[in-house]
Amino acid sequence: MKNSLIFRVILLGAIAIAGIIGMQAYWVINTWDINEEEFSKKASLALYRTACGLADLNGGDLPPRNIVNQRTTNSYVVNIDSEIDEDHLEYFLQKEFERLALYVDFEYAVYDCTTNEMMYGNYCSFNPGSQADLTKLGNLPKDDKFTYYFSVKFPNRSGYLLGKMQLSIFFSAILLIVLLFFAYSMYIMLRQKRLSELQKDFINNMTHEFKTPISTIKISADVFLNAPEVQGNHRLIRYANIVREQNKRLNSQVEKVLQLARIEQGNFELKMEQFSVPEALSAIVNSTAVQVEKQGGTLKSDIQLNGLTIEADRLHFTNILHNLLDNAIKYCCERPEIKLLAYASEREITIKIEDKGVGISKEHLGRVFSKFYRVPTGNVHKVKGFGLGLYYVKSICDAQGWQLTIDSAPGAGTSVYLQIPVLKPGLKSWWRNLRTLGANYFRRTATRLTSA
């Protein structure tokens, strides 16, 4: 993954997180304000009804205004302009709070005009198991403007409001967990990217270092084979041919790794050209048939394309089919039995390579195109390789906008389908060719952007 893409992911993630945090903070603050306003209205209404009850009990009238006065966020002063009985006051307070479902602990005090002091009444709790902090009780406010009044204080007002915001607090906690998970995911992603870059650099450096000894071994093997002393010794010729063949095999694997490295680094360019598909397929079949016949197998082909052409990188097109045919040969049961079918519809060419080999189970079928992945065979490694062949094939197909699918089952063989857009010859179909080229281009561009 490129640094620019990671930066965009982190930037967009940070913007999204900031927006979510802002919305959550607004929701929590707004919920708090609503609950606080509701509490104030209920408390004021309950205290007003308490004042009315006391006034009716005393046979007096309430003051025309300033009956319920809020002094602080959790304390109120109620002016009734008549004498107050503490027992009646506590009864009316509990009754009115219960009527409004305001189940919050409170304490009250009555002003004594003879001593000019607040006479503490009681601490009332709706929860018998709750315990109040004695250091926070008492100290109810006085008011010099009134003569007969009482004060009510709610020591646990903040806890009561928080209790009504349990849902908001729960979602806020979930959001916090999500944010921590996102931060941890970003850390893991950056760490994995760094390790992946170290791995790629190591593989690239290693493969480049292999090129020099491989070239030296090739030159030495050729010189060794052409030496007169070796030509007369069949045993030495056999060993020299083994050295040359294995060196050639090692060189092809190194070249494959280098090509994949160029694809991943973005230094890969397709050399697009138009060529005849039947001619290219015939050459591939003829060169592969020799190898199949050496193993006592058969390679049948049925090419029904009638001179259709495509725009593609011919070298990589040939490499793709050679890789697919090589896999069909490698993973045969006893003798390779392979069929290559090629047919065309109005818009695309379909190339099917079918074999009767060992097959692949469904649990591994979706991963065969992954880099370095090989179907597990336990401790038996009859087929050598690095798991790069199908990854290379898939990378080239994605780069050119081709569709590659595979169908297989254990013991039933494997069928690989390669679907390529068609270019038909002739001036009458120039518009169709232009549309096909445009669609192919946009498919390649979308694939590159997705894989970036």
- Cα–chain-centroid distance for residue 216? 47
For residue 447, the model assigns a pLDDT of: 44
Residue 428 tokens read as 């009458």
Q: Which fold has domain 272-451?
A: Heat Shock Protein 90 (3.30.565)
Q: Check whether 430 has a pLDDT greater than 50.
A: no
Crossing angle of the two packed helices 314-330 and 277-294, in degrees rounded to 10: 30
Separation CA 165–CA 32 (nearest Å): 7
Is this prediction's pTM over 0.85?
no
Is residue 290 within a helix (H) or strand (E), and if so which, with residue range? Answer: helix 277-294
- What's the helix, strand, coil split of the chain in %, to 5? 55, 20, 25
- Cα–chain-centroid distance for residue 62? 67
For residue 142, the model assigns a pLDDT of: 79
Specify the higher pLDDT residue, 248 or 448. 248
Coil, helix or strand at residue 334: coil
Cβ atoms of 47 and 78 closer than 8 Å: yes
* Alpha helix positions (H), 331-429: 362-365, 389-400
Query: What's the number of CA atoms in the CB half-sphere (13 Å) around residue 282?
Result: 10
Phi, psi of 91 (to 5 degrees): -65, -50
For residue 452, the model assigns a pLDDT of: 45
pLDDT in tens, 344-397: 887 888 999 998 888 888 888 878 887 777 776 544 445 555 677 788 888 888
Separation CA 390–CA 375 (nearest Å): 12
Separation CA 352–CA 390 (nearest Å): 15
The region of weakest confidence among 135-144, 258-267, 422-431 is 422-431
The region of weakest confidence among 61-65, 74-78, 183-187, 253-257 is 253-257
- Cα–chain-centroid distance for residue 201? 26
pLDDT in tens, 14-23: 888 888 888 8
- Cα–chain-centroid distance for residue 87? 66
At 316, the amino acid letter reads H
Crossing angle of the two packed helices 86-99 and 3-58, in degrees rounded to 10: 140
Separation CA 40–CA 76 (nearest Å): 10
pLDDT in tens, 320-349: 888 888 888 888 877 888 999 998 887 888
Is residue 262 within a helix (H) or strand (E), and if so which, with residue range? Answer: helix 234-265
CA angle 340, 342, 348 (to 5 degrees): 145
The region of weakest confidence among 37-41, 322-326, 424-428, 436-440 is 424-428
- Give the pairing type, strands 337-344 and 298-304: parallel
Separation CA 377–CA 81 (nearest Å): 96
Cα–Cα separations (whole angstroms), residue 184 to 6, 10, 339: 15, 12, 51
The residue behind tokens 């602080």 is 72
pLDDT in tens, 52-111: 888 888 877 788 888 898 888 888 999 887 888 888 888 999 999 999 988 888 999 988
Cα–Cα separations (whole angstroms), residue 312 to 271, 317, 426, 441: 7, 7, 19, 11
Cβ atoms of 193 and 185 closer than 8 Å: no
Query: What's the number of CA atoms in the CB half-sphere (13 Å) around residue 27?
Result: 15
The residue behind tokens 């049948």 is 300
Q: Check whether 177 has a pLDDT greater than 60.
A: yes
